[in-house]
Amino acid sequence: MRTRRTRRVRAPGEPAASLPAKADPCHHCHEPIPRGLDVVREQGEQTLRFCCTGCRAVYAFIHAEGLESFYAKRSASEAERPRFDEADSAYAFEAYVRGDGEERELDVAIDGIHCASCVWLNEKVLLKTEGVRYARVNYATHVATIRWAADETDVGTIVARIRSTGYSPKPNVVSERSASRQSESRELLIRFGTAAFFASQLMMYTAALYAGYFEGISAATRRVFELLGLGLSAPVVFYSGGPFIRSALRGLRARRFDMDVLIAVGSVSAYVYSVAQLLRGREVYFDTAAMIVALVLLGRYIESVAKNKASRAMDLLAELLPAQATRLSGDRRELVAVSALQPGDRLLVKVGERVPLDGFVVKGETEVDVSHLTGESRPVHRECGAEVIGGSLNMVGVIEVEVSVVLADSKVSRIAKAVEEAQLHKPRLQRAADALVGVFVPAVLTLSVLTAVTLVALGEGPGEALLRAISVLVISCPCALGLATPLAVMVFSTRATAGGVLVRSGETIDALARVNRIVFDKTGTLTEGRPELLEVLADDSPASDAALSMAASLEVDSEHSIGRALVRGARERALPLWPHGGLKVAAGRGVEATVERDDGTFEVRVGSRGFVTEDARATRNDPHGSKPDPHGSKPDPHGSKPDPRESTLDPDWDQRAKVYEAGGDSVVWVAWGGRCRAGFVLRDTVRAEAPTALKALRARAQLEVLSGDDPATTQAVAARLGLSEATGGASPLDKAQRVRALQASGCSVMMVGDGINDAPALSEAAVGVSMGRGTEIAMETADVVIVRDDLSRLEELMRLASETRSVIWQNLFWALFYNVVAIPLAVVGILHPIVAAGAMAASSLLVVLNSLRIGSLAGSAWRV
């Protein structure tokens, strides 16, 4: 049985509790505004903030005299100044630390990661840092998640450790991370363009030079072509290939070996050896040095573009929340960072703006677009008291919203964080591949040196020995091995997120692909989960109202769909909701509490038939049972014959209830004072997409229904959906035991539910799935959350998981097969270094392009 520990963490971009949020700078001088100072100027609908009254007065003068061009000129000159890199300060990272107890956590974007060896090295260095408990680097996004003991180390030490290995750590801010990726792609494109231009010119002269070697060429002409090769290859090796060289030097100083070391050693060796050969008047290999760099840069650029595309869905999700919000403080409006908002803050949301954080409408009414969050295609009406989700677009009217959560707890932030954690979680195959990558580069370097030494010892010329050694260096490809799984997992998770499904772990992919048995809860899973009160089985109308008032009083704080239906019914009839105390929940059966009504205090039970009749038997002698009830049946004054409802249900009510249950409706009972007072008939419609979804799922797995509802009701709903296996009256423990028994028999079980009662079974299953409108505990326990609350997503998700697992196996097979075959070919001299460089780039590209195929056959909703 799996257990999952949950704790509150702040989202990327939310300041630490011990540090003030960064305020907007002064509108005039751009200096920071002192904490607590509020010097403002209203200009139209805009509120301008200043650091002092002097700056406000100067701004007023400039504005009055029409001299606003001063600010444009100043901005232009400021843009040319070197900007202080905030990431150089440990303080910049402190603002993004999560947790305030003994253990802290931080996401760090690491610049300079180019291959799987970089990932392996950073993880090893971090894990060897005293106090660090956990370190995982996502190769696809270059983001490290680090967890440490607060009393053993600090942020500054951790950041310094990353820098000591030659990498550049930065705070993991989504907008900055996206900009950093775009900047990296642009730089790669510029360097590749430069390399391609000079290398193409070089190859023309090299072709003429090679022809001259065979057909004859004058010494002067040969010398000119060789000098041209020297000049044309220099910018390729030392400018375009500069990042490889710098990274290799930093790595060697830190005693780390990655792909950049192989590329730098190969290209620089070819260049330096060619210079020596030029001085001695022998054959040169400038073309080899240049083409190695050009081809590797081409592969890196295409890989960068592919990663950006795969990450785009996550960027779009994060961009749903605005950076700033208009907060209302009395009659004052102020523009504040969303990360600084707290529950209870009141916000103004204008037409066309996005709701900054989850909350409730406290003034006005509107329609909001929630299509990006829930998949609801039509605008949703929201009025006072209605909940609004952060990121939803206000379309009609101006509203005021009271914030209910901090940024980290918003729905968008939680989805984004869960997706990132899923991408960080390494499947078993990837962990094995990472262990191999850790020794791969040193082994290749050793093999390259041995190749050269052995060939020279066997009488081969140094030129041939060098070419083979370089071929060994550049043809090896740990990148393909490192990319095989994380890129596929990243594409899967972004495709799933785009399709409205949240998958919490990379290992869930394999479990989804193996599922052969699916167990469904009924209410809220196969049905809409919004039952409506259809009828009250009671003596008369006053008794009906009294019973509903009592039952709703117990359920007023309930998250269960039936409890909510009873409360809605009571409010629609304007019935009083009485205070209650001592609430006890009998999981899967009902609730009981003491209700204080004007005419007395009553022990009340609401729940299943067995639960309330048990109450009737247990409370026949209850002192409250002797009290006359103005809306119920009076006790028999003669005491000669007890009312049958003192121990059982009224036979007429019971018969009518069974008819409803046989038709798929649910009946909930209420009892107090030793009597069952009424039954509530609730009708919950079957989901529109359920028949089609279940038909598709039957082709993949056996299906059954397991519900806490009445057995007759459960059977009726299952029969309506064509399911032959259905069990009702199951408690939470019954559900968990059923899942455990199925898995013990060899089944790989998926449990699909939405309520607190489903949490044990969700945790027990190989894959737990919660519907998007499910309770918090169900969604926290589940491995998969169907955010868009559409059951048809389940089969599409399983198909996507099967496709992803196949792609991972294909990627790993290709990466291993390529290296096992290609390196020996380089050793024996069959592959020239230029061909080797092209093959290495092609190997990584094949893995990238194969991963991008994931989801290409799925519906448009799954495409990024």
Beta bridge partners of 349: 399
Q: Where are the beta strands (DSSP E) in 338-466?
A: 346-349, 359-363, 366-369, 380-382, 387-388, 393-394, 399-403
Q: What is the 3-state secondary structure (H, E, C) of 448-498?
A: HHHHHHHHHHCCCCHHHHHHHHHHHHHHCCHHHHHHCCHHHHHHHHHHHHH
Q: Which tokens in the block code for residue 156?
A: 């500054």
Q: Crossing angle of helices 428-457/116-127, nearest 10°?
A: 110
**354 secondary structure, DSSP code:** B
Classify residue 511 as exposed, middle or buried by CB count within 10 Å of its CB (0-12, 13-18, 19+): buried
Cα 103 vs. chain centroid, distance in angstroms?
Answer: 22
Say how far apart CA 537 and CA 642 lie, in whole Å.
Answer: 21
Which residue is it, tokens 């989960």?
529
Q: Coil, strand, or helix at residue 791? A: coil
Catalytic residue from among 287, 345, 409, 521: 521
Side-chain half-sphere exposure of 443, counting CA atoms within 13 A: 11
Q: Which residues contact 69 (CB under 8 A, 6 or more apart)?
A: none
Interior/surface letters 89-106, b for 16+ CB within 10 angstroms, e for the rest: eeebbbbbbbbeeebbbb
In what helix (H) or strand (E) does residue 337 lie, and over which residues does it extend? strand 332-337
Name which of 373, 367, 418 is nearest 790 in CA terms.
Answer: 373
Say how far apart CA 713 and CA 531 lie, in whole Å.
Answer: 13
Say how far apart CA 293 and CA 314 lie, in whole Å.
Answer: 32
Q: H helices within 80-173, ranges in order?
A: 90-94, 116-127, 155-164
Q: Beta strand 103-111 with 143-149: parallel, antiparallel or unpaired? A: antiparallel
Say how far apart CA 579 and CA 557 lie, in whole Å.
Answer: 11
How many CB atoms are closer than 10 A to CB 676?
26
Side-chain half-sphere exposure of 532, counting CA atoms within 13 A: 5
Name which of 596, 605, 530 is nearest 561 in CA terms.
Answer: 530
Say how far apart CA 281 and CA 715 lie, in whole Å.
Answer: 91
Name which of 525, 561, 506, 589 is nearest 751 in CA terms.
Answer: 525
Ramachandran angles phi, psi of 647, nearest 5°: -130, -20
Asked if 782 contacts 762 with a C-beta cutoff of 8 angstroms, the reply is yes
DSSP string, 34-82: PTT--EEEEETTEEEEESSHHHHHHHHHHHHTT-THHHHHHHHHHHTSP
Q: Is 521 a catalytic residue?
A: yes
Asked if 549 contacts 570 with a C-beta cutoff of 8 angstroms, the reply is yes
Say how far apart CA 861 and CA 498 lie, in whole Å.
Answer: 6
Cα 556 vs. chain centroid, distance in angstroms?
Answer: 33
Residue 588: left (phi > 0), alpha (psi -120 to 50), or beta? left
Give the number of residues written for the chain: 864
Say how far apart CA 834 and CA 832 lie, in whole Å.
Answer: 6
Beta bridge partners of 671: 605, 676
- Residues belonging to the active site: 521
